[in-house]
Structure 1
Amino acid sequence: MDFSRLQTTSKIGDDWVYPQPPCLNFGWLEVDRDPAHRIYWEEYGNPAGEPVMFLHGGPGGACAPAMARFFDPARYRVILFDQRGCGKSEPNVASAGAAVALAKNTTADLIGDIEKLREKLEIAGPMHVFGGSWGSTLAMAYGIAHPAHCASLILRGIFLGAPEDLLYLYQGNAATWADDPYGLTEPGAYMKYPDEWADLLSVLTPEERGDVMKSYKAIFDMVPANAAEKERQLKAALTWSLWEGVISNMIPETADTGKFGEADFALCFAQIEAHYFANALFLPAGHFFDNIATLAGIPIHIVHGRFDEVCPLTQASRLVAALRGAGTEPATYVVTNAGHSAMERENALALTAVMDGLPRIGAA
């Protein structure tokens, strides 16, 4: 049998509209003390161009230079930065430990960091705020806190972070999995990725699977007393990281897991996510819907993959319905034939098209 004609990847590959731009500037900015958090930032594109503040996902996902490729480098001044605790920001969960790196690490802190970075880089007027997945959450939270600083919100893979959203991703049929691993007892991403789901649950005992997120958080929070506990903690972080990394693609990249299979990245990503998820994202329940009038006053552009299993399309649907209920249509609403990742070909091309079509800041 010849399977050579079948699609083997859903990533963008060589189909980017713009080449990788060079990094123009970089640095660390102290944003807090006790502990002294310093966030790492980079700048790309046109130094005199329209500013774009890029908010990465996770939380804990960190940035990479390829994230500057969504933007016309002649038009935009693109700022990438690693949020507290991850990437090149300091202290880092992987090197300094969770107790230090997760201190003063909340959504309000991250919003404050964006403001400090905006001031550091002398962005006086409004800017485009671009975020996907958790980055979409943070972008909306920032927009609610500082609407005057937002020329537009460009959001990919809407993540509202409600309890049902997290249960879909992390709980599913876990409680009954030992007795019936293929039973469709509850909705969840496990239905599309049963092998990867088995890997996620393999770290836990049957009793621990009754609350997957709580059990993983307990593993991350423990101070290992011996080599076996340290090994279990690292395995848990890698497994958590790989679960989300692999299922972010419509066609799973099992042969090349990229950063999600790297120990330092996984320790940051998994522990920061678990920290935020255990604390309801450090946002009041219903925060976005209670403040929908503020969001409705900002041009919002949404790109969401129809086959997104990390953040199912219903999350974008809920947001769009709320905007319409507030009397405003999204400036753009594109549903792509893609999964979750921004690097999925259809998502990447749609995001670039949105950026190419934005009204210029200050244009009449």
Structure 2
Amino acid sequence: MDLSRLQATSAITDEWEYPAADPSQSGLLQVDSDPDHKLYWEEYGNPAGEPVMFLHGGPGGACAPVMARFFDPARYRVILFDQRGCGKSQPTVASAGPEIALVNNTTDYLVYDINALRTALDITGTMHVFGGSWGSTLALVYAIRHPENVASLILRGIFLGAREDLQYMYQGNAATFADAPFALTEPGSYIAYPDEWKAFVEVIPAADRTDMMRAYKAIFDMAAASDADRALQLRAAVAWSVWEGTISNMIPKDSDPGKFGDAEFALSFAQIEAHFFAHDLFLEPDYILDNIDRIAGIPMHIVHGRFDQVCPLTQASRLIAALADAGASPASYVRTNAGHSAMERETALALTAIMDGLAPIG
């Protein structure tokens, strides 16, 4: 059976409203020194159009040109950029190691970087802020701190980053896996992806599985003294990366993990995520929900896959409930028959339709 044809039924292919395009300009913006963090950015669409700041997921992901296809190039000026340590930004964990790339790599610095990029690109008024997964977290935090800069929030796959959200994805039944690998002892993403879960869990010795995120972080943080240590770190990074990449799709690709299986991407992606998760995203508990009143007046559009196993739908429910407590509601809320990925057909089309229907800035 050709499972790739089944996967193609859920992924967007020829249905894009807007064609693929090359960036009109790109560059590296130095935002810090010691180390010299530089952000790689690209601009698409109309240079005089309404600005859209695109915030990618992870933490630790990266942007790709396809992400500009959600936006009408005649209307919008779209800014894609790779966050600190990610993609084509410099330095990355893969190129310089975590002891350099993770320095000054926190949520506060990422918020600072958005404003630095605004200034460098001469964005002086409000802008649309578009983010998915971790990008939705960062978009919400940015709006809470700088509501004067945000015309609207377009959020996909809401991620609030509470401990329970992370436990669902990374812990599951790991503590009892050795004795009962198919037992439903705890809620978790593993329920829908048992084979992929096995590959993720078995990197960690059975005795260390009571805290999977801590066990993975210990591997990433160890001083690799031998080829065997380095091989273990790479194996762990790829396992972490492929686990998330696979379960991001309601119908996973059967054999090709794509960029998530690439060693260079995985080393940066996994270690940046583990770094942020070990520090609770560098946010106070319930930071977003406790400050929702600061953004209750900003039009917020939410798209969330009903079958999302990276960021379960309950996270969108919690955000909407907090908005209601603040006397507000989302401008639109679309639950698609999809998983987590923005590249699943229903989600991609919903996001494009929202951008087409937004009230113009000003």
Give the TM-score category using the shorter length: over 0.9
Amino acid at match of 1:250: M
How far the C-alpha of 1:256 sits from its partner, in A, is 2.1
Q: Which residue of 2 aligns with 1:7?
A: 6
Per-residue CA distance 1:213-272 (angstroms, 9 max, x = gap): 000000011121100110000000000000000000000113221110100000010000
Name the TM-score, length of structure 1 as normaliser.
Answer: 0.97
Instruction: State the match for 2:48 in structure 1.
Output: 48
Q: Which runs of 5+ in 2 are unaligned?
A: none
* 1:8 to partner: Cα distance: 3.2
Distance 1:261 1:72 in 2: 32
Q: CA deviation at 1:39?
A: 0.6
Aligned to 1:209: 209
CA shift for structure 1 position 202: 1.2
TM-aligned CA deviation for residue 6 of structure 1: 7.6
Structure 1 partner of 2:57: 57
Q: Which amino acid aligns with 1:205?
A: P
Per-residue CA deviations over 1:158-181 (Å, capped at 9, x if unaligned) read 000000000000000000000000
Correspondence 1:131 to 2:122: no
Amino acid at match of 1:221: D
Matching residue of 2:243: 243
- Please show how residues 120-199 of structure 1 align to structure 2 within 5 Å: 120-199=120-199
Corresponding residue number in structure 2 for 1:348: 348
Give the whole-Å Cα distance in 1 for the aligned partners of 2:218 and 2:4. Answer: 45
Quick check: 1:246–1:254 contact (8 Å CA) kept in 2?
Answer: no
User: Per-residue deviation at 1:192?
Assistant: 0.2
Q: In structure 1, what is the Cα distance between the partners aligned to 2:294 and 2:92?
A: 34
Aligned residue-pair number: 361
Residue 38 of structure 1: aligned partner: 38
Do 2:40 and 2:81's aligned partners in 1 also have CA atoms closer than 8 Å?
A: yes
Number of the residue aligned with 2:118? 118
Could you say which residue in structure 2 is the equivalent of 1:264?
264
1:21–1:73 Cα contact (<8 Å) kept:
no
Report the Cα offset of residue 290 of structure 1: 1.2
Matching residue's letter, 1:213:
M
Q: Secondary structure at the match of 1:210?
A: coil
Aligned-pair distance for 1:7? 3.2
After superposition, the C-alpha distances for 1:78-115 in whole angstroms (9 at most, x for unaligned) are: 00000001111111110000010000000000000000
In structure 2, C-alpha distance between the alignment counterparts of 1:134 and 1:8, rounded to whole Å: 24
Amino acid at match of 1:28: L
CA distance in 2: counterparts of 1:8 and 1:297, whole angstroms? 39
Does the 8 Å contact 1:60/1:268 carry over to 2? yes
Give 2:108's aligned residue: 108
Deviations 1:329-364 (A, max 9, x none): 1001000000000111111000000000000000xx
Is 1:94 paired with 2:94? Answer: yes
Percent same amino acid among aligned pairs? 67
Question: Are residues 1:315 and 2:315 paired?
Answer: yes
Residues 196 and 243, structure 2, Cα contact 8 Å, conserved in 1: yes
> Which stretch shows the higher mean deviation, 253-262 or 72-81?
253-262
Q: Which amino acid aligns with 2:126?
A: P
Moved more, 301-310 or 17-26: 17-26
Cα gap change, 1:6 to 1:114, in 2 (>3 Å): closer
Do the aligned residues in 1 keep the contact of 2:3 with 2:254 (CA within 8 Å)?
Answer: no
- TM-score by structure 2 length? 0.98
Cα distance, 1:50 vs. partner?
A: 0.3
**Inter-partner Cα distance in structure 2 for 1:4 and 1:329:** 40
Contact in 1 for aligned 2:49/2:77 (Cα 8 Å): yes
5+ residue gaps, structure 1: none
Paired letter, 2:251:
I
In structure 2, distance between residues paired with 1:332 and 1:295: 15
How many angstroms does 1:4 deviate by?
8.7
Per the TM alignment, residue 5 of structure 1 is displaced from its structure 2 partner at its CA by 12
Which residue of 1 is the match for residue 21 of structure 2?
Answer: 21
Task: Give the root-mean-square deviation of aligned CA atoms.
Answer: 1.2
Q: Distance in 2 between matches of 1:194 and 1:115?
A: 42
Distance 2:29 2:325 in 1: 40
